[in-house]
């Protein structure tokens, strides 16, 4: 059972504690922060038919504070150290980002802390804690989807300094976009064309093909993880539910519990791939709030920019300039290696 305890930070931002047992009391933030003032806006690129966020206030956000947990704003508050989380402990907590990419009634950005342990990692959490994270992400997706102007909800985790993480504490983020993102629009158009051409479901047919193919990594009662046929990244795994689910709130209790186990299984394999902590991005693709939901399917993309233990895959001329990825590994070899790393 997941319980949610709401509260407010001293500058008016919302904070929510998620626990496996009831009894949590919301903490009081005594920092006396000034009201958040942000200047983010979105601008339209008519050449590419895409929106770009302009958020100049983020230049002053906290970046890799020295001193570890003693100066980490995501650790619990203790005497002599006041943080973003005004309680001495927590399991999972979500709050409005103090330095949001979207703000002022145009979208919303939240931080989700997976554990109070500064030196922990998502892949090292027990399955019941990961299940709590899934419940929290589902709850935040449902809540943000109700906000005026939010068109798509995107939970994600950036892990590792090589990815550009500014705080080492185990955490993720949730963006409530005021538009449908370019990647999602492209997928929806592909699914629409496929349905017109074959009368089939593109996501379902991809899943059926990969579950029985050479790129499958692990499969459970409700989920299958595989390396996509045209993987862009040196290490890339997609995780699909077997049922046609549009977003995290639609998952059943059984699917959520199974997801926690499979998610941890995949992360453990990724950690052993280069025999070192792997920098990665975990990106949840969910159906838009209103547009073309019938064409979409929930799925997770996990990928790393590390192509060898000491070499990073940079997005250079072809990738950054033209959007054409060039992968130095084959998906079949990566999948075989991940299967061996069970």
**Cα–Cα distance list, 139 to 230, 308, 316 (Å):** 33, 37, 38
3-class DSSP assignment, residue 326: coil
Domain's final residue, options 147, 177, 207? 177
At residue 62, the pLDDT reads 62
35 inside domain = no
What confidence score (pLDDT) does residue 69 get?
82
In whole angstroms, give the CA distance from residue 19 to residue 40.
Answer: 33
For the stretch 204-230, what's the b/e string if a residue is b when 16 or more beta carbons lie within 10 angstroms of its beta carbon? eebbeebeeeebbbbbeebbbbbbbee
Q: Is 33 within a domain? A: no
Q: Are 85 and 76 in contact (CB under 8 A)?
A: yes
145 and 115 co-located in one domain: yes
Structural contact between residues 246 and 287, judged by C-beta atoms closer than 8 angstroms: yes
Q: Which residues are annotated as a binding site for Zn(2+)?
A: 72, 75, 118, 169
Determine the 3-state secondary structure of 155 from DSSP.
Answer: strand
pLDDT at 104: 65
pLDDT tens, residue order, the chain (342 aa): 899 999 999 999 999 999 999 999 999 999 999 987 777 889 999 999 999 999 876 665 565 666 678 889 999 999 999 999 999 999 999 999 998 988 767 899 999 999 999 999 999 999 999 999 999 999 999 999 999 999 999 999 999 999 989 899 999 999 999 999 999 999 999 999 999 999 999 999 999 999 989 999 999 999 999 999 999 999 999 999 999 999 999 999 999 999 999 999 999 999 999 999 999 999 999 999 999 999 999 999 999 999 999 999 999 999 999 999 999 999 999 999 999 998
C-alpha angle 314-287-19 in degrees, rounded to nearest 5: 90
Range of the domain at 194: 183-340
pLDDT of residue 57: 67
pLDDT for res 67:
65
Number of structural domains the chain divides into: 2
Is residue 241 within 8 Å of 251, Cβ to Cβ?
yes
Burial class (CB in 10 A: 0-12, 13-18, 19+), 245: buried
Which backbone phi and psi does 145 adopt, to 5 degrees? -65, -20
Whether 30 sits among the annotated catalytic residues: the reply is no
**One of 57, 71, 171, 285 is an active-site residue; which one?**
171
Look at residue 106 in the predicted model and tell me its pLDDT. 83
Cα gap 176→266, rounded to integer Å: 27
> 95 pairs with which residues across the strands?
15, 111
Domain end call among 133, 160, 177:
177
Q: Do 168 and 313 sit in the same domain of this protein? A: no
Q: How far apart are CA 129 and CA 122, in angstroms?
A: 9
Same domain, 127 and 24: yes
Minimal CA–CA distance to 116: which of 155, 77, 80, 66?
77
The annotated binding site is made up of 72, 75, 118, 169
Query: What is the bridge-based pairing of β-strands 223-226 and 235-241?
Result: antiparallel
Q: What is the CATH number of the domain that holds 65?
A: 3.30.428.10
Query: 309 and 235, same structural domain?
Result: yes
The per-residue pLDDT for 1 is: 85
Q: Quick one: pLDDT at residue 68? A: 72
Same domain? For 251 and 143 the reply is no
Q: What is the pLDDT of residue 59?
A: 63
308 in a structural domain: yes
């Amino acid at each position: 059972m997941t319980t949610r305890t709401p509260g407010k930070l001293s500058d008016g931002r919302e904070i929510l504690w998620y626990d496996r047992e009831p009894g949590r009391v919301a903490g009081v933030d005594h920092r006396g922060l000034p009201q958040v003032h942000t200047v983010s806006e979105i601008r339209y690129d008519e050449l590419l038919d895409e929106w770009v966020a302009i958020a100049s206030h983020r230049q002053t956000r906290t970046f890799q504070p020295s001193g570890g947990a003693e100066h980490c704003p995501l650790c619990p508050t203790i005497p002599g150290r006041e943080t973003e989380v005004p309680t001495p402990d927590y399991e999972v907590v979500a709050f409005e980002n103090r330095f949001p990419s979207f703000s002022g009634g145009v979208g919303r950005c939240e931080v989700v802390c997976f554990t109070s342990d500064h030196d922990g990692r998502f892949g090292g959490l027990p399955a019941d804690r990961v299940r709590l994270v899934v419940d929290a992400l589902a709850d935040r997706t449902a809540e943000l989807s109700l906000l005026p102007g939010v068109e798509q909800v995107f939970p994600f985790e950036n892990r590792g300094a090589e990815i550009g993480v500014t705080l080492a504490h185990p955490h993720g983020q949730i963006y409530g976009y005021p538009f449908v993102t370019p990647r999602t629009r492209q997928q929806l158009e592909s699914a629409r064309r496929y349905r017109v051409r074959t009368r089939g479901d593109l996501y379902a047919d991809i899943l059926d093909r990969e579950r029985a193919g050479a790129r499958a990594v692990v499969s459970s009662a409700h989920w299958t993880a595989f390396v996509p046929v045209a993987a862009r990244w040196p290490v890339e795994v997609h995780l699909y539910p077997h049922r046609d689910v549009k977003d995290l709130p639609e998952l059943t209790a059984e699917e959520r519990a199974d997801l926690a186990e499979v998610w941890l299984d995949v992360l453990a394999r990724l950690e052993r791939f280069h025999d070192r902590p792997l920098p990665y991005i975990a990106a949840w693709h969910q159906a838009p709030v209103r547009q073309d939901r019938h064409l979409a399917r929930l799925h997770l993309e996990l990928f790393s920019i590390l192509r060898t233990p000491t070499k990073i895959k940079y997005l250079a001329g072809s990738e950054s300039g033209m959007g054409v990825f060039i992968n130095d590994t084959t998906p079949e070899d990566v999948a075989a290696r991940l299967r061996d790393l069970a």
